[in-house]
Structure formats: structure tokens, C-alpha cells
Chains A and B, each alone.
Chain A
Amino acid sequence: MANFVVQAYSNTPRRKQIRILGSFFLALLILAVLLVSYLIVSSRVVSLGRGIQKLKNEIDELEYENVTLQDEIASATTISKVEAMAQEQGFHPASSGEILHVVVPGYKRSRSIPVNAGEESRPAVIDVSIAEYHQTLLEWVMQETVVFSDAFKGFEQ
């Protein structure tokens, strides 16, 4: 088969030979450009992936740290500790006889609002900007070429 192709090529006129070779190398060049582009994109994806992994590890660590802090705060503010601190400072639990109720005309009593009270909560709106791509491959190649040539503008003179 290979001999057949070489023989056919040898019998081809010189100009035609050059045209075939030119087309072949052009196709190779385009393929090479595509491969390099693919590698660049892959490289970026890998870097971003690693970045995401690193951020996730940091999130995990922060989660552990937050939990520890929450526990430490709760341990430092237990009812018994707060009560002991209050007693040290001279406070004592009020008895019903020590409380003076005063009627304030027009004042409407409001009950204490419990934690997270309110109507059915809505989820927090988090603005997450996700990159969107509207370029064709050719446009991207052109853009990268411009960026690449801009990088050498300083050396033109």
C-alpha cells in the first residue's frame, strides 16, 4: 500500500507534488495548533481544578475551626458560669416581690422574639457569577493571538 502511494506520488507532476505536500503540512499545522490550544485549555482546567480543591480544603478547615469556636463560646457562656459571674458581681435572682410592674398608658407589650423567628424563611440569595462562553474557537484563537502579540509590543522598536 505504502509503495503504491509513493509510486503514485513519484508519477505525479512536480507542481502537483508541491501542492499535495503543502496541503499535508497545512493540515498538520492546523492539527498542531488545535493540539496546542487543547493543551493550553487543559492546563487551565487543571489549574482551576487544583484551585477548587485547595479552596475546598480551606472550607473544610474553616468549618472545623468554626465548630470549635462555637463550642468554646457555648462552653464559656453556660448558664451556670454566667450565673456564677453575676453572683460574683453582687447580682441575685429576682423574686416576684422585688419586681415592680408599672402601667404605662398606651404601651403595647411585645413578647420576646425567639431566634430565627418570622414567617417562613426564604433562602439567602447568593450571587454566584459563572463564566459564560460565547466565542467560537476561531474567535478565541484570534483573541489569544492579539494577547500574545501585545505581549511583545514593547520589543517592536
Chain B
Amino acid sequence: MKIKDDWRYTSVGFVFALVGALIIGQMIRIQISPDKGEFLNPKTLGEPEHAASRRGLILDRNGKLFAGNTTVYEVTVSILDFKRGAEIYDSIRIEDIKYILDAAIDVFNITDSDTIQLFRTEPYPDRSAVVVEKYATREEVERFLDYVDVIQHRTEEEILIRDDDSALTVDLVDCQDFLGIYCEPHFARSYPEKTLASNILGFVSRNDGQGHLGVEAEYDTTLLGDDRIVKALWNPYLADQSPYPDHGANLILTIDSVLQADVENILDTALQTYGAQAGTIVVMDPKTGDIYAMASAPRIDISEYWHESYFDVINNVDNIFNYAVKAYEPGSVLKVITMAAALDAGVVERDTEFLDTGEFKIGGITIRNWDRRAWGPQTMTTCLQHSLNVCLAWVGSQLGAEQMYAYLQSFGFGQLTGVGLANEAPGVVKNYLSSDWHKSELGTNSFGQGIEVTSVQMLKAVSAIANNGMMVSPRIVRAIVDQEYRYEAPIDFAGSPISEETARTLTEMLTISLEKEASSALVPGYSLAGKTGTAEIYVKGEGYTSNLTNASFIGWGPTDDPQFIVYVWISKPTTAIWGSVVASPIFRQVVDRVIIHLGIPPDAVRHNLQEDI
């Protein structure tokens, strides 16, 4: 068939061909239009997008940063790129590769023998990506790039373009102009205060990215963000599905960083003065359980936790990283609990008389006083005042095993306090019904031997006495801030192991006891209650020895409106062994700082204020 007017069909065909060409042209334009600069590192080109999350911050109660993040770089070199650049594009001289790799070894202090061997083996293997440093600082990367500038004989003009003076020091380092060198920024944990509160914080390992010890371990899942990985990056239609990382939640601690620094200084000085290696001081609010300060020694610089000298502190099986949650035999400070139980059970009263003959036999053993003296007629108050083992063993025997251990349990001994720190020890309180328990232990446990407790357990138990019978659990985390929400940690009242009347009576007894026996613990103008403790340390093969002791002190104040409890434990002091000599003055120094930081006026002023209001 012959169709007339061919030109019309040709024209229509031309129009359609033109439209088709336009469509194809548009498709090509879309494919090639994006700027090269919009893409990430070529190393990750075509890979799923990985949006790094930020680990949550840890702040003190006033917003001071304890643990944050910083930007570091994973620096990778591609030997294959160097070789191609030299052999195909002539953009680098083959002999320069050696100098660049040497510079990497020098700047990043590479000690890995495999990497060093790889970098010094010629001819170089075709390795496309060798990670030379995972946590390079900005300064290190810039120093390395400066070396490469010199090696590659870059012109001053080229260098000046990179070293733009207007660029801020926080701008990301750009390695894109350097053949075969890639710098991927990522977050790393930072601890700007270094050793301050390090025993509380713990640290994040650079090997596994997980929190170890302290708050970092206990709240690891809360602090840890959620990285997102999607394959949508290179499809513009799916750009809105591109990932936003879910950053970790922030923790607000109960710690007051300034008080913490002061208490750490006091502890360090005390260790020097008394020739001790380890110890702890904890300050707690008896009404809320807030830990204001928790100093512990030895301490490490957690911003450089990998130093060999810290290895023993971190990995010690006895958990010496934080002495506040480490169990030990407390000695006479536990007499406070025995007396609280006996008073509450009605076994003894404040003025119950006891004749101290210097010896008390129980379960086939003889218990003697710390000075092996017979103190004669005593009341329960003077028994505490003179810290008489014989008297307290008798009190324990009057109480009986069933009641004694029931009270110890209700005070929370042998159980975790849930303070919020990893590796908290539960302590050791034997079950009086078990086969390994002996009746003599009722006597020794009554004055704090043969029983293991932690400092935070003691604070929890004594909070019941300071707080009119209401016991409160200690807490180290005050709130969690996740995105825009703040979740307050509730105050955990842990029951009332004793009555209000018992608590008041015992507080009065301990106030008198402190005034008469441990004057070095007193702070003028403030009513304080407290008890010293000296516990002999059990040495395998030698038994309990008087040469090695734990010196402790627990005290609180003001007694009519308690706002702080302080626990002091100095392990193995050498210049003096007694709690009254070692721990009491430390308590006074700590209280001196606490009343300033918490703004607690002397009793007289406070009473005037209360009357006025």
C-alpha cells in the first residue's frame, strides 16, 4: 500500500523521535548530575549507609560533663591506589610510597608487626585498604597529611588551599585530595576530667565498644546508641528513608563533681598520711539515697585506661576498681547495727547494765575487747562509746541467731543495694541454719568480724537509723534523659527495719558516744552521730592479725535533721591502725567540705532560721 503525503508521517515520526531523545537525555542527566563532592569517601561508595550513633553523656548533678564524646578518625591507606597512581596516572612517584608508609608508622606509632612488615615489603602487595589507626586524633591526621604534602612535593598554593586559615579547628579533616588516603570520622568516648570520679564511671573499651566497670557497664544498654544501616543512600527516591541514628540516652548522676574532687583530695592525702594504699569515702543524702561523692583509691586515668600500670586495678579479681562496692569485714562500725537490732527487739535498753569482765565465751571461743581489758560496769551507751567487743557479743547472744540474722537481712546485708554500679559485691552473711555456720559466729558477727559488707550497704543500713527508721537505697543515677524526655529515678525506700523510737534512741546514744570517745571527728557547731571501727584482717595461714587492719568510720548529721551520711574506710593503714585515729579525722575533714557544699549552717543558725520561717 502506498500512503500519500509521506512528509506528514516523517514530521510526526521526527516529533516522537525528538521526544524520545529528550526522555533519554533527561535520564542520562539525572544519572550523572550529582556533584562528586556530595558523595562520601570512595572507600564506602556503593556500600550501605552507616549512620553512627553517639554514646549518651554522663553528667554530674549540676550538669558538669564527666563522660562525653569526641571526633576521631579511622585512617586507611590503599597501597593499590598508590601503585596505580604511580604506574598509570603518574600522580605519585613509586619511591614516594615508602616515605608515605614510613610517615604513617611514625605519626600513628604503629607497633603491629604485621602492618610494619607489610609496609616495608617491596615490591608492595596490592592491598587496597590497610587500617593504620582506628582512633586518630585531628592533630595526628593533620601531621600525617603534612608529611604527605612534603613527600608529594605539593605546591604551596595547593597546601594553602587545604590549610585554609578561616577553617575552624572543629571542621572535619578532609583527606579526599590525597590519593590512597582515607579518613573516616567517627565518635569515641572521652573523659575530660580524667581521674575524677573514674571509679564511678568505668570506661568504654576501644576493643569491643562496650562499657566496662562502673556506670558505663551498668548502664551500657541505656548509654549505647543504635547505629542505623540502610541501602537507600544512592537512590534519591528513598532519601527520606535515609537513616537518622538513635543516639544513646544521657545519664545525670547524683554526684556533685566539686565535692567529689574535694573528697578525692582528702582521701589521697589521708592515704599518704597514714601509709595506706587503698580506701574509700562515700557521702550520701540519707533522705533520698543520693550519693554526693564516692571517692576510691587506687584511681586510674580512664581516658587512657589501656596503660599497663592500670591493668591490675581493672582486672583484679577482688574488684579493687571501686572500694565502695567491695566487700570487707567492717569491724566495730557494725556494732551500730547489732545495737539497733537489740534495741528494736527489746532485748536491751539504752541504760541496760552490763558487767564487762573482759571475756565472753560463745560457741567454744572466747571473745575479748580490743585492748584485752575488763571494763567493769557499763551501759549500752558506754558499750558503744568504748567499742566493747565483749559487750556486743553478749548483746548478740541475747538477741539470738534467728533474730540477729533476720535483722541483718532486713537491713539489706548479703544483698545488692542496686546503687547502679557494675561489679557491686553482695557481701557475705552466713545463714545460721547452714552447716558451715558455727555458734561462735553469732558472737564475732555482732562486732563486725566474720561478716563481709560493702560501704554502700553500710550507708543503706545506717540511713534507717539517721532517717527515723526509714531505710533508703543508695543511688548513683539521678535521671535519664532520652531525646527530649527526662526520667527521674525514684527514691527507693527499702522498708523500716527498726522503729522510729529505736532510731532516735540509737542516734542519741551515738551522739553521746561520739562526743566522748572520738572528738577528732567532731565539727564545732554541728550535732553529729557516728561510730568508729577497727577490724583485724584475716591472713591465710596466720589468722586475724593486729598488724593489718581496716579503719572505718560511719557518721551523719545534723542529728535532728540529717542531711548527709559519711562512710570512711582506709585499708591497711601503717602509721596507725585504729579507726578512731585514722578514720575519725578524715570524717571531720569531709564533713567540713560537705557543710560548705550543701550550704548547711551551724545548728544554732539553722534553728533560728526554722523558728523564723
Contacts and interface: CB of A to CB of B under 8 A. Distances in A.
Contact of B19 (A36, A54, A99, A118): A36
Nearest to A60: B51
Contacts, number: 154
B54 interface: yes
Contacts of A54: 38
Contact of B592 (A32, A95, A122): A95
B539 interface: no
A79 B193 contact: yes
Nearest to A96: B592
A109 B170 contact: no
Nearest to A32: B19
B26 interface: yes
Given A53-B38, A65-B170, A96 B595 contact: yes
A108 B570 CA distance: 40
Interface string A41-81: 01101101110111011001101110111111011001110
Contacts of B190: 71, 74-75
A114 B26 contact: no
Q: How large is the interface on B (under 10, 10 to 19, 20 to 34, 35 or more residues)?
A: 35 or more
Contact of A50 (B34, B68, B71, B194): B34
Q: How large is the interface on A (under 10, 10 to 19, 20 to 34, 35 or more residues)?
A: 35 or more
B247 to A, nearest CB: 9
Contacts of B159: none
Contacts of B613: 108
A64 B172 contact: yes
Contact of A67 (B54, B236, B252): B54
A115 interface: yes
A134 interface: no
B69 A67 contact: yes
Given A67-B54, A103-B612, A114-B62, A28 B16 contact: yes
Contact of A46 (B138, B236, B486): B236
Interface of B: 1, 12, 16, 19, 22-23, 26, 30, 33-34, 38, 40, 51, 54, 59, 61-65, 68-71, 138, 168, 170-172, 185, 187, 190, 192-194, 196, 233, 235-240, 242, 252, 257-258, 261-262, 478-479, 481, 483-488, 523, 525, 592, 595-596, 599, 601-602, 605, 608-609, 612-613
Given A49-B235, A49-B237, A65-B170, 19 more contacts: A25-B12, A46-B33, A52-B240, A57-B38, A67-B68, A68-B170, A69-B170, A70-B68, A78-B196, A79-B261, A96-B595, A105-B612, A109-B599, A114-B63, A114-B252, A115-B63, A120-B485, A120-B486, A123-B485
